[in-house]
């Protein structure tokens, strides 16, 4: 009789252990629901050092952008401040691919005009006084060479506070099928 009671106790202990293992496995396999508080803010000690800029464009960029929007064909789109690595890529078979990618990833073009398929047609750079500095000239030369290698024309325009629409039209004419001059344009 004692051996029968011992056998039942053994079966109960084994069942308890097996139940515990099954429960643990099922808890581990259950997907955890993320607990995200919609009002979460980083702790004050970890506050990130960023602030919104007052303006996206400089005065020269804004003026030029407005003219580009007016002159670009209706089925073309004007983008601003586009990262060079989003326009050109490093060929896969290139040696030192990462090094070449790093050279384009931190640079941008001021404006990019794309056709109706959003394929790049023309890159535009506004050159302000800083482009006369040696390091900036080196950067500009590299950007020009990268765009030339990718067969994407680049137009360099001297930055000014304001632009004459007919002058910009003549600069763009070799690259784009421009909108005809409107009566409002002719009065200016």
Q: Which residues of the chain have pLDDT under 70?
A: 1, 8, 22, 24-25, 27-28, 30-34, 42-45, 179, 182-188
pLDDT, residue 57, reads 93
Question: Does residue 100 contact residue 106 with C-beta atoms inside 8 Å?
Answer: no
* β 120-127/154-158 pair status: parallel
pTM: 0.70
pLDDT at 146: 97
What is the pLDDT at residue 13? 74
Cα separation values, 78 from 9, 10, 50, 116, 154, Å: 80, 78, 27, 11, 14
Lookup: tokens for 51? 């602030």
Please tell me the predicted confidence (pLDDT) of residue 19. Answer: 73
pLDDT tens digits for range 135-166: 789 999 999 999 999 999 999 999 998 899 99
Q: Where are the domains of the chain?
A: 59-176
């Amino acid at each position: 009789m004692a051996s029968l009671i011992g056998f039942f106790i053994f079966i109960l202990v084994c069942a308890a252990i097996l139940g515990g293992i099954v429960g643990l496995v099922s808890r581990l396999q259950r997907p955890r629901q993320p607990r995200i508080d919609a009002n979460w803010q980083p702790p004050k000690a970890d506050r990130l050092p960023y602030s919104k800029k007052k303006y996206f464009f400089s005065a020269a960029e804004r003026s030029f952008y407005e003219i580009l929007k007016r002159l670009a064909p209706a089925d073309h789109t004007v983008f601003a401040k586009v990262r060079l690595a989003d326009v050109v890529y490093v060929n896969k078979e290139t040696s030192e691919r990462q090094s070449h990618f790093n050279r384009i990833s931190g640079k941008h073009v001021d404006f990019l005009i794309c056709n109706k398929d959003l394929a790049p047609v023309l890159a535009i750079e506004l050159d302000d006084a800083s482009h006369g500095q040696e390091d900036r000239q080196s950067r500009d030369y590299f950007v020009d060479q990268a765009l030339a290698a990718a067969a994407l024309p680049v137009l360099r325009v001297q930055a000014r506070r304001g632009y004459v629409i007919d002058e910009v039209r003549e600069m763009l004419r070799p690259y784009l099928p421009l909108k005809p001059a409107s009566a409002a344009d002719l009065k200016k």
